[in-house]
Amino acid sequence: MERIEIASTPPIESAIASLRARPRRLRLQAALRRMVRETQLTANDLIYPLFVRPGRESRPVPSMPGVRQLSIEDLLREAEAALRLGIPAVLLFGIPEHKDPFGSESYAEEGIIQRALRALKRTFPELVVITDLCFCEYTDHGHCGLLDERGQLDNDATLRLLAQQALSHARAGADVLAPSGMLDGMVAVIRAALDEAGYTHIPILSYAVKYASAFYGPFRQAAESAPAFGDRRTHQMDPANAEEALREVALDLEQGADMVMVKPAGPYLDVIRRIKDRFPVPLAAYQVSGEYAMLKAAALQGWLEERTAVSEALLAIKRAGADMIITYYAREALEKGWLAG
């Protein structure tokens, strides 16, 4: 290497001579970097969200390249691949055949989720199957429950119907129920319904802290669940609030939640950390459709290196305090060895 003459001064020389701490020492070798790594990602950290639809044909979701609405047959294939990679759990969303004002397919014995659950549990009893409990995919108006005469979400009427939905998922074999509607009292009502029917062993993973986020956009295309009018700001949280997130978690734990979730993940790392510091319960974070779509789109354009960008994004979520990460990248990241570091 060629050398150049660099001018210096006594203060500069003395600053260099008195340097003691040299953090770079621990970064100079790959193996040493591995030894001092504070956060590791493994398959055990991941939950794989999957969409299931009626019929024999799977359909791609244009806003989420690589993600499909799956036929039950293809769902079984995805689940098998997930198990082979060591992913412990999937999170199921259903796209119903018919929508109506009550979302009645969400609690029908022959509903898409119920059929998918029975098929999954029959074929892969060891896989943890989590179901999203909500009405927005099932109602013709796209809102997360029953509407009153003013067109507003009727919280307490929806709770009664949510109890029915919870029981029908439990009967069909769900291992964990994940209510995502941000209704007041949803955990208490689901717990009561499950316990009364003898399902005391089924845990609740509450979407306790779910923000009214623009990052759900691509999901609404995937799940065909965009609201026909209005938005979800009367039940989902204001992105400006973090103190309120602590109150939401406290309430859901009081009502009997076994695990809680923050959603989205990447834009809310501070919220994940504050909850982790305060509440000693398993914490999940959902890297949502918009976070996936941003990474995918930039990667497809050649603007980001997907491998490193995805592992960095997931690592950040775990470092912030998440014990579990729900991510559409679960299969691809493991299959392609992106998390190995």
List, by residue number, the catalytic residues: 210, 263
Residue number with CB closer to ligand PBG (220 or 276): 220
Site string for ligand PBG, 124-163 (x = CB under 6 A): --------x-x-x---------------------------
Does 52 engage in binding with ligand PBG (CB under 6 A)?
Answer: no
* Contact range with ligand PBG by CB under 6 A, out of 23-31, 115-123, 212-220, 303-311: 212-220
289 in contact with ligand PBG (CB under 6 A): yes
# of chain residues touching ligand PBG (CB under 6 A): 10
Site string for ligand PBG, 168-207 (x = CB under 6 A): ------------x---------------------------
Shortest Cβ 210–ligand PBG spacing (Å): 7
Closest residue to bound ligand PBG by CB: 219
State which of residues 272, 288, 325, 339 lies at the interface with ligand PBG (CB under 6 A): 288
Q: What is the nearest approach in angstroms of ligand PBG to the Cβ of residue 165? A: 11
Report the nearest approach of ligand PBG to the CB of residue 78 (Å).
Answer: 16
Nearer to ligand PBG, 134 or 172 (CB): 134
Shortest separation between residue 156's beta carbon and ligand PBG, angstroms: 19
Q: What is the 3-state secondary structure (H, E, C) of the chain?
A: CCCCCCCCCHHHHHHHHCCCCCHHHHHCCHHHHHHCCCCCCCHHHEEEEEEECCCCCCEECCCCCCCEEECHHHHHHHHHHHHHCCCCEEEEEECCCCCECCCHHHHCCCCHHHHHHHHHHHHCCCCEEEEEECCCCCECCCCCCCECCCCCECHHHHHHHHHHHHHHHHHHCCCEEEECCCCCCHHHHHHHHHHHCCCCCCCEEEEEEEECCHHHHHHHHHCCCCCCCCCCCCCCECCCCCHHHHHHHHHHHHCCCCEEEEECCHHHHHHHHHHHHHCCCCEEEEECHHHHHHHHHHHHHCCCCHHHHHHHHHHHHHHHCCCEEEECCHHHHHHCCCCCC
Q: Which residues bind ligand PBG (CB under 6 A)?
A: 132, 134, 136, 180, 216, 219-220, 232, 288-289
